[in-house]
Chains A and B, each alone.
Chain A
Amino acid sequence: MKKALNALENYFKNFGIAFVKGDIWVKLSAVLMGAGYFARKQVINGIIMCLVEVLFVVMCIGYAAPNLAKFGTLGTVQFEQVFDPLTMTSTVNDYDNSFLILLNSIISLFIIFVFIVFYISNMKAVYRLQQQKENGEHINTFREDVRTMFNEKFHITLLTLPAIGIVIMNILPILVLIAVAFTNYDQQHMPPNALFTWVGWSNFKNLFTSSVTVTFGYSFKKVLVWTLEWAVLATFTTYIGGILMAKFINDKKTKLPKLWRTLFIIAIAVPQFVTLLLVRNFFADNGIVNTFCNSIGFTDFLKNVGLVPSNLSYIPFLTNPGWAKVMIIIINIWIGIPYQMLVATGVLMNIPEDQIESARIDGANPLQIFIKITMPYVLFVTGPSLITDFVKNINNFNVIYLLTQDVFVTSDQLLANSNAKEVDLLVTWLFRLTNEYYNYKMASVIGIIVFIICAAFTLVTFTRTIKGDKEEEFQ
């Protein structure tokens, strides 16, 4: 933290030094960015810098200024349309589209930020040129500068494209998402016909407080707890299951190991949503599994035991909260194990044979070898992927949504009042809020919370597992 602050301080200090100690040309560069280059006879560099500056000014006047002027209110002119029945056309007024204003403003702010960074580095570069001149060092011609881009600075050339991609595909959308969390963008405020505006922290307050009518706080707690329970259970059941499965298949006594492995991989080959929708139908209240259980008397047995309410004539596999949660985890084991088995197979094959050999000579039984040698090794190698699996499971949309959508009806009235269900993960709740209720503001807030949870968890566990010199132990 301190380091970062120091670096930031130096960054601006160097800029100040460049400005104060620079000669007239460097000072002139503060206004006309190319000036410093012209003075050192780098004409092409100078022209490029001037062009960048002109482009920036044009962008500011033509694009950034009109949008940023409305950024504070996100627009004030409501959409209006007048229809002329004779010509069968309609005229639309010059209305404000809050979403476009928000989006364009964020892009503008981002460009301005990039330009400032560019501007500061330009001042420093110009000052460096001055110093080089004073010291009588060689000053690169344009051609030489270009050549450095292919040699010493080749990484910059290569990374430009991916960096632009990340900015456009990741950073800007995330910034917009964060901004939406502070607005009242929902079904009542949907552009182009309506405007939305800033509301500060009130959406966050809603998520953490419960009143009689706004039950987001209550639902958030319940959904979060189940999300974490699910992530832990789903990750560990498939992980352990996968390792055991790989171990069994790899065992010397297993016949036709390749056949078994292929069979399990076929389960992966079928698209998940097809299998999940089929499974959902199998376990429907009047589905094939229920018919079967009924005819062999299993339903009655469960009723006698008390696992199924006596007024039901079927097993509520996916319609009762408790049953549904257990079923979801079991079904997830079934579709998740083959993946983990593949990973584990690779790892198991790489366990140093000598360690196992020596353990066997020392008289360790297979279970001890598994617990003391195999597992620690596998855990070490797959640790990072275990963490990503956990995070993936927090956001595991497919299994939950496809198995319960249109089937599961919550019987918790407070959950229902904020459109949540007992089996919802944060991400499925978020999906339903956006897709069925257009509650973009709350969805953004939940999105941010999910991000914070995932980021915090990943940071903590990654630093824990990678810390230390564990690698040595396995060499």
Chain B
Amino acid sequence: MKKKVLATLLATAMVAGCLAGCGNSNDGAASTPATEEAAPAEDAAPAEDAAPAEDAAPAEDTSSAADASDPIATLIANTSGTVALTVWASEEDQDLTTKLLDDFKATYPDVTFDITLGAESESTAKDTILTDVEAAADVFAFADDQINELVQAGALQEVAAHYTYDVAAENATGAVEAATVDGKLYAYPMTADNGYFMFYDSSVFTEDDVKSLEKMIEVADAAGKKIAMDISNGWYIYAFFQGAGLELTLNDDGMTNTCAWNAAGGTDVAQAIIDLTASNVFVDMGDEDMATQIAEGNVVACVNGTWRAETAQEAWGDNYAACKLPTFNAGGKDCQMSSYSGYKLVGVNPHSANLGWSMLLAEFLTNEAAQTARFDARGLGPANLAAASSDAVQSNPAIAALAAQAAYATPQRVGGNFWSPAETLGQILASGNPDGTDLQELLDTTVEGITAPVE
């Protein structure tokens, strides 16, 4: 009997604990609105104070001197209590973003902010956001290839108006295009360096050598070194097919693809990739492997992006050089390798509770000063025209190479069904088509996968 009493007590204690827990949280929830209700009464006075602060804040915005039609002044007047915002920036961008956030808070001294900074890589932002759009950050950075899916999932607030600078006019056309879906601007361009190009060690290659991939292979072979590219990756293998004029486009539905890789000339490109990799000088290698192989001195040239610039610079020192992608020979014809141009963008979550402040913060994180700071701190190429025209940016080899490649680059607009089949095609071709499948058949199956309907 005693045991039973004890057990019951424990059980009731647990229930009571639960109830108490609930009670507390309810109290908490109930108390917040209460303070908010109290706040407007006090805020009536500061509303007028807001005007002078506003004058000091967005200096560019001289057209409207804090009259009633000024949205920022209205926003400040309408804001009561703490503005809670969540921002996601990549792991590498944390220090810089923290600094920019402090500056942002200082710009609006009359508003109390509670800004949480989370680490979320730009390349995987979509994965986290789409899991639960309503729970995602208010302001987040992402790579432009995800914009279609994000817009479709309703995870991006349209940039219907701008407040502190003209987003469309002050950024490079390509960047604005990359942030636009169906003629509507959906994000704020942050960097213009997310594409790929060629890094090389100038002690091995001359500037003439790097014009053609065949020549590069010849030179590297003589030196006993390797040239690396992540061929078994849809993002990179695109360079060959697009370069030969075989197009891959996204259909109007925004989900399915049209792909001409199996059209006439497709087998020549496939054969070219097999031939190029057969030498074992031009090798299929993932990004991480490439970093170690560059450091170890085995790889003397690679197709990669600005994120590997530091690795290459450390390994090759003064011999570090970068250029546009070379040409390759397909069916007796020299084709200039194409590429995906890439941009990093900042987006605002339409489900944000503080939409106005989120948009202002997104503008702040992408304005000229912020983009310049980002280049200074991390060497990331600015999308902002004024920031990009500075001498420091112009003399950066990686960014110069990107600019040279830009003529052959296309923005990345592709449906989700592209990646797996393209990756597998790259894998098969880079390993020399081990099963000896007919190349046309190989391409046909790939295209079937890429163009498969999305149910």
B-binding residues in A (CB < 8 A):
79, 81, 83, 85-90, 150-151, 154, 157-158, 161, 184, 186-188, 190, 192-194, 206, 212-215, 284-286, 309, 311-313, 406-407, 409-417, 419, 435-438
Q: Please state if A438 and B71 are interface contacts (CB–CB under 8 Å).
A: no
- For B35, the chain A residues whose CB sits under 8 A away are none
Q: Please state if B153 and A79 are interface contacts (CB–CB under 8 Å).
A: no
Other-chain contact of A187, B149, B232, B350, B424 (Cβ < 8 Å): B149
Query: How many angstroms from the CA of A161 to the CA of B154 in the assembled complex?
Result: 40
Question: Contacts A81-B350, A406-B286: A411 and B431 contacting too (C-beta < 8 A)?
Answer: yes
Q: Please state if B133 and A187 are interface contacts (CB–CB under 8 Å).
A: no
Other-chain contact of B160, A83, A187, A410 (Cβ < 8 Å): A83
Q: Please state if B420 and A417 are interface contacts (CB–CB under 8 Å).
A: yes
Query: How many angstroms from the CA of A151 to the CA of B149 in the assembled complex?
Result: 60
Q: Please state if B280 and A150 are interface contacts (CB–CB under 8 Å).
A: no
Give 3 nearest A-B pairs by CB, closest first.
A193-B154, A88-B356, A85-B161
Q: Please state if A192 and B452 are interface contacts (CB–CB under 8 Å).
A: no
Across the interface, name the chain B residue whose C-beta is closest to A407.
B286
Q: How far is the CB of A155 from chain B (nearest CB, A)?
A: 11
Question: Contacts A85-B71, A87-B74: A436 and B127 contacting too (C-beta < 8 A)?
Answer: yes
Question: Contacts A83-B158, A311-B431: A435 and B446 contacting too (C-beta < 8 A)?
Answer: no
Q: Please state if B14 and A161 are interface contacts (CB–CB under 8 Å).
A: yes
Q: Please state if A313 and B280 are interface contacts (CB–CB under 8 Å).
A: yes
Other-chain contact of A413, B161, B163, B417, B424 (Cβ < 8 Å): B424
- For B421, the chain A residues whose CB sits under 8 A away are 413, 416-417
Q: Please state if B452 and A410 are interface contacts (CB–CB under 8 Å).
A: no
Query: How many angstroms from the CA of A81 to the CA of B452 in the assembled complex?
Result: 32
- For A284, the chain B residues whose CB sits under 8 A away are 289
Q: How far is the CB of B250 from chain A (nearest CB, A)?
A: 14
| B residues 292-310 touching A (CB-CB < 8 Å) | 292-293
- For B255, the chain A residues whose CB sits under 8 A away are 188
Q: How far is the CB of A234 from chain B (nearest CB, A)?
A: 26
Q: Please state if B416 and A409 are interface contacts (CB–CB under 8 Å).
A: no
Q: How far is the CB of A134 from chain B (nearest CB, A)?
A: 34
A-binding residues in B (CB < 8 A):
4-5, 7-8, 11, 14-15, 69, 71, 74-75, 78, 127, 130, 133-134, 149, 152-154, 157-158, 160-161, 163, 232, 255, 278, 280, 285-286, 289, 292-293, 350-351, 355-356, 359-360, 416-417, 420-421, 423-428, 431-432, 434, 442, 445-446, 448-449, 451-455
Q: Please state if B423 and A86 are interface contacts (CB–CB under 8 Å).
A: no
- For B356, the chain A residues whose CB sits under 8 A away are 87-89
Across the interface, name the chain B residue whose C-beta is closest to A199.
B455
- For B127, the chain A residues whose CB sits under 8 A away are 435-436
Question: Contacts A81-B350, A213-B452, A311-B278: A416 and B420 contacting too (C-beta < 8 A)?
Answer: yes
Q: Please state if A286 and B7 are interface contacts (CB–CB under 8 Å).
A: no
Q: Please state if A158 and B130 are interface contacts (CB–CB under 8 Å).
A: no
Q: Please state if B280 and A311 are interface contacts (CB–CB under 8 Å).
A: yes
Q: Please state if B158 and A412 are interface contacts (CB–CB under 8 Å).
A: no
Query: How many angstroms from the CA of A407 to the CA of B160 in the assembled complex?
Result: 42
The CB with the most chain B CB atoms within 10 A, among A150, A184, A313, A417, is that of A417
Question: Contacts A79-B154, A87-B75, A409-B427: A188 and B454 contacting too (C-beta < 8 A)?
Answer: yes
Q: Please state if A416 and B423 are interface contacts (CB–CB under 8 Å).
A: yes
Q: Please state if B424 and A410 are interface contacts (CB–CB under 8 Å).
A: yes
Across the interface, name the chain A residue whose C-beta is closest to B280.
A313
Across the interface, name the chain B residue whose C-beta is closest to A151.
B4
Q: How far is the CB of B230 from chain A (nearest CB, A)?
A: 10
Q: Please state if A309 and B431 are interface contacts (CB–CB under 8 Å).
A: yes
Q: How far is the CB of A201 from chain B (nearest CB, A)?
A: 14
Query: How many angstroms from the CA of A419 to the CA of B448 in the assembled complex?
Result: 14
The CB with the most chain B CB atoms within 10 A, among A188, A413, A435, is that of A413
* Subset of 25 A-B contacts with CB under 8 Å: A83-B160, A85-B160, A86-B69, A87-B75, A88-B71, A89-B356, A90-B355, A150-B4, A157-B11, A188-B152, A188-B455, A190-B153, A193-B154, A194-B152, A194-B153, A206-B455, A213-B451, A309-B434, A311-B278, A407-B286, A409-B232, A411-B428, A411-B431, A417-B421, A437-B416
Q: How far is the CB of A325 from chain B (nearest CB, A)?
A: 17
Q: How far is the CB of B197 from chain A (nearest CB, A)?
A: 23
Q: How far is the CB of A344 from chain B (nearest CB, A)?
A: 36
Query: How many angstroms from the CA of A412 to the CA of B455 in the assembled complex?
Result: 23
Q: Please state if A192 and B161 are interface contacts (CB–CB under 8 Å).
A: no
- For B292, the chain A residues whose CB sits under 8 A away are 286
Across the interface, name the chain B residue whose C-beta is closest to A212.
B448
Question: Contacts A286-B293, A309-B431, A413-B442: A88 and B355 contacting too (C-beta < 8 A)?
Answer: yes
Known: A83-B157, A192-B351, A406-B286. 4 other contacts (CB 8 A): A89-B355, A309-B432, A410-B424, A413-B424
Q: Please state if B71 and A87 are interface contacts (CB–CB under 8 Å).
A: yes
- For B286, the chain A residues whose CB sits under 8 A away are 406-407
Other-chain contact of B8, A90, A150, A309 (Cβ < 8 Å): A150
Q: Please state if A190 and B423 are interface contacts (CB–CB under 8 Å).
A: no
Across the interface, name the chain A residue whose C-beta is closest to B424.
A416
Q: How far is the CB of A84 from chain B (nearest CB, A)?
A: 9
Query: How many angstroms from the CA of A409 to the CA of B454 in the assembled complex?
Result: 22
Query: How many angstroms from the CA of A215 to the CA of B133 in the assembled complex?
Result: 30
- For B75, the chain A residues whose CB sits under 8 A away are 87-88
- For B434, the chain A residues whose CB sits under 8 A away are 309, 411
- For B7, the chain A residues whose CB sits under 8 A away are 158
- For A411, the chain B residues whose CB sits under 8 A away are 424, 427-428, 431, 434
- For B350, the chain A residues whose CB sits under 8 A away are 81, 90
- For A186, the chain B residues whose CB sits under 8 A away are 455
- For A309, the chain B residues whose CB sits under 8 A away are 431-432, 434
Q: Please state if B425 and A161 are interface contacts (CB–CB under 8 Å).
A: no
- For B289, the chain A residues whose CB sits under 8 A away are 284-286
- For B133, the chain A residues whose CB sits under 8 A away are 190, 192-193
- For B446, the chain A residues whose CB sits under 8 A away are 413
Q: How far is the CB of A296 from chain B (nearest CB, A)?
A: 18
Query: How many angstroms from the CA of A187 to the CA of B133 in the assembled complex?
Result: 12
Query: How many angstroms from the CA of A437 to the CA of B454 in the assembled complex?
Result: 11
Across the interface, name the chain A residue whose C-beta is closest to B231.
A409
Q: Please state if A86 and B74 are interface contacts (CB–CB under 8 Å).
A: yes
- For B69, the chain A residues whose CB sits under 8 A away are 86
- For A414, the chain B residues whose CB sits under 8 A away are 445
